[in-house]
Each structure stands twice: as structure tokens, then as C-alpha cells.
């Protein structure tokens, strides 16, 4: 691991200012993804700004009837929150489908969103990876790609965003609140937080240098059946091959987002008009422009069948 200096920030704005001062600085919250990557020298910050002590660890009701989730709320605490379990069950379910009990106890809301979009070649420093070293090439395109992305990918990168939580937040129309180094704040719809790789897969989010996520807000509960179904190679503690987050209303209308298929939580609002007509039409619309590899083309029918099961469960 590369040596680094360490500070505990005193306020969100101060943390953002400190981060903007040093291009090699990183925020550390739970640390469960960052420290893993630092040990492998894939992440090499020279300065860490600990943002755990900023008081961003509460879940509060908003005046609009929704919830404001502090950026440092741990995944376990969020999944277990009574309001989330009752009104946003798809979010509890998605969180509980991810990682392990130990990791969920430390991993934070903002950290979960900002974990690296990644693939095994990103982890292998002996191999080319456009994300790790821009311009070096993508080993995954001609390599082992069974687990990797089928849509939203590019000739530079086919890695997937591994979060389950983010898929549920996308279907719930979550918004990310941030503070910038100049102390100004802004709201970013979750749909706009993660960038598609294009020719710059090393740039994963719309955040500016030093910009710190302070909270994630959820609009008032939408009702409906909340379902998160994750398909993976083992029953627990594995990344999704594919996952479906859905909020389905009694009349068959609803919202759907997919995990495990793209470099970001994958939702195509236009496809949702097809939901009352069944999974086949909706899946086809969600996968418009999909470019699977020979090894991961199975994800398209797998999504269609999983979505069909989700819609049947919602009706039942």
C-alpha cells in the first residue's frame, strides 16, 4: 500500500475543501472497497479524508413525505430501518442481497454508490485495463466476460456496477445531495450520478473534484409491490449475474431497474410502458442497443425470465 497522510474532517464543506486541495486525496467512509483496492495499489491516494465523524448518519423524514438518508448511514442500519422496511421494501431487500453481514455493518450509503465499477481484469494489475490505466486496452472484451456488462458498455470497458442498493434506489427515483469545495450544494438524480464508460471508463460519476455526497433522498412512498430478485452463482455473498428491482402497482403498471447488466443501475423509463404487456416486451425495450459477448448473451433471456417471475409474484 502506498503511504498516505490522514485527517478527520470536521464538516462536510471542510472535507470537500480538503479534497479539492489535493488531486491525490480520497474520502474514506466504510473503507470496504477503497482499502481493498489500496492494498492492491489500484487506488493510490496520498491523503485520506475520514468522513465518518460528520454526523451524516441519520435517516430523517422530509417535508415532502419521503426520507433523507445520511451519506454515512451503514447498509445494515438502512436495511433495518422500520420506515424503509415498510415503505421502501425493495431497498431493504436489495441491501440484504448484497455483500456479507460484516461488510454491510461498515459499508455506507454514499460509499455503496461510489464503489468502483469493476471487473476481474481491473483487479489484475498485470493486465491492460482502460479503467485502471486509460488507453491501455480492455482485457475483458476478448477475455472471460460471463459476469460482465451487456448494455451501456463500450469498446473501452464492459465492467458492471456491482451495487444492489443502487438498483433499488434507481427504481425508487432517489436523488443524491452533495456539497462542493466552494460550500455550494446541489442535487443529482441518481440516474445522472453514474456515467457510461464511452472512451473514458476511468471517469465513473458526475461528481466534480472534491464534491462530497451528503445524503440520498427518496420521494414519498409510491405504494405497490416491492420486489428485488437477484440471480447469482451461489445463494449468498456473490455479485449478481442479473438482478431485477421492481415496484409494481395493482393495475400492472410499474417501475423496473436492472443490476448486473450495465456500468450503472439500468433503467429505461420508456420500457416501463410495456410492463402491463408482460416481461418479453419490457425486457426487449430495456435491452435496445445491447451488445452482449458470446459468454454473457445468456443475461438477456435470464432478465426476461426473471422479470416474468417478478411480475407473476407481484400479481400473486
Partner 1 sequence: MNRRDLIAAAGACAALPSMVGAARGQPVPIGEPVRASVSFRVNGAGHHLELDTRTTLLDALREHLKLTGTKKGCDHGQCGACTVLVDGQRINSCLTLAVMNQGSEVTTIEGLGSVDNLHPMQAAFVKHDGFQCGYCTPGQICSAVAVLDEIKAGIPSHVSADLEGAMAVSEAELRERMSGNICRCGAYSNIVEAMTDVAGRQG
Which segment (87-95, 183-191, 203-211, 281-289) binds partner 1 by CB under 8 A? 87-95
> Nine-digit cell at 118?
469493476
Among 11, 20, 57, 128, binds partner 1 (CB under 8 A): 128
List C-alpha distances in Å: 293 to 35, 41, 145, 298.
31, 29, 7, 9
By CB under 8 A, residue 82 contacts partner 1: yes
Among 97, 212, 213, 246, binds partner 1 (CB under 8 A): 97
Q: Which stretches within the chain are classed as H helix?
A: 12-21, 34-39, 75-80, 82-87, 89-96, 101-106, 109-114, 120-123, 165-171, 279-286, 299-315
Among 11, 26, 144, 268, binds partner 1 (CB under 8 A): 144
By CB under 8 A, residue 96 contacts partner 1: yes
**Pair 224, 254: CB distance under 8 Å:** yes
By CB under 8 A, residue 4 contacts partner 1: yes
Residues 210-269 that bind partner 1 (CB under 8 A): 233-239
By CB under 8 A, residue 200 contacts partner 1: no
d(CA 68, CA 59) in angstroms, rounded, equals 6
> Nine-digit cell at 305?
425470465
Count interface residues toward partner 1 (CB under 8 A). Answer: 63
d(CA 190, CA 175) in angstroms, rounded, equals 5
Nearer to partner 1, 48 or 166 (CB): 48
Give the x-and-dash track for 275-314 against partner 1 (CB under 8 A): ----------------------------------------
By CB under 8 A, residue 58 contacts partner 1: no
Least separation in angstroms between residue 177's CB and partner 1 is 24
d(CA 204, CA 227) in angstroms, rounded, equals 27
Q: Look-up: residue for cell 500500500?
A: 1
| Residue ranges binding partner 1 (CB under 8 A) | 1-6, 8, 28, 30-32, 35-36, 39, 41, 44, 46, 48, 50, 52, 76, 79-80, 82, 85-86, 89, 92-93, 96-97, 99-103, 105-106, 119-121, 124-128, 132-133, 135-137, 139, 143-144, 146-147, 233-239
Amino acid at each position: 500500500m502506498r503511504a498516505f497522510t490522514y485527517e478527520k474532517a470536521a464538516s462536510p464543506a471542510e472535507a470537500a475543501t480538503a479534497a479539492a486541495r489535493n488531486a491525490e486525496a480520497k474520502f474514506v467512509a466504510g473503507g470496504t472497497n477503497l482499502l481493498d483496492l489500496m492494498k492492491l495499489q489500484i487506488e493510490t491516494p496520498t491523503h485520506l479524508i475520514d468522513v465518518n465523524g460528520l454526523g451524516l448518519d441519520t435517516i430523517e423524514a422530509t417535508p415532502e413525505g419521503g426520507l433523507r438518508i445520511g451519506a454515512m448511514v451503514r447498509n445494515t442500519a438502512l436495511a433495518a430501518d422500520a420506515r424503509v422496511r415498510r415503505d421502501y421494501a425493495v431497498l431493504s431487500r436489495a441491501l440484504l442481497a448484497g455483500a456479507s453481514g460484516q461488510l454491510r455493518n461498515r459499508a455506507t450509503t454514499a460509499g455503496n454508490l461510489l464503489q468502483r465499477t469493476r471487473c476481474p481484469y481491473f483487479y489484475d494489475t498485470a493486465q491492460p485495463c482502460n479503467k485502471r490505466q486509460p488507453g491501455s486496452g480492455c482485457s475483458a472484451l476478448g477475455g472471460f466476460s460471463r459476469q460482465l456488462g451487456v448494455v451501456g458498455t463500450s469498446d473501452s470497458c464492459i465492467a458492471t456496477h456491482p451495487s444492489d442498493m443502487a438498483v433499488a434506489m434507481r427504481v425508487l427515483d432517489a436523488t443524491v445531495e452533495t456539497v462542493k469545495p466552494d460550500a455550494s450544494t446541489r442535487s443529482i438524480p441518481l440516474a445522472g450520478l453514474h456515467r457510461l464508460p464511452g472512451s473514458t471508463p476511468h471517469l465513473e460519476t458526475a461528481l466534480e473534484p472534491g464534491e462530497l455526497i451528503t445524503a440520498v433522498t427518496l420521494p414519498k412512498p409510491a405504494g405497490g409491490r416491492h420486489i428485488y430478485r437477484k440471480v447469482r452463482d451461489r445463494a449468498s455473498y456473490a455479485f449478481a449475474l442479473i438482478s431485477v428491482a421492481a415496484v409494481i402497482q395493482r393495475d400492472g403498471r410499474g417501475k423496473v431497474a436492472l443490476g448486473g447488466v450495465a456500468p450503472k443501475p439500468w433503467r429505461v423509463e420508456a420500457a416501463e410502458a410495456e410492463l402491463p404487456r408482460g416481461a418479453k416486451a419490457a425486457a426487449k425495450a430495456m435491452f435496445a442497443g445491447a451488445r452482449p459477448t458470446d459468454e454473457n448473451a445468456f443475461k438477456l433471456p435470464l432478465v426476461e425470465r426473471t422479470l416474468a417471475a417478478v411480475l407473476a409474484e407481484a400479481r400473486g
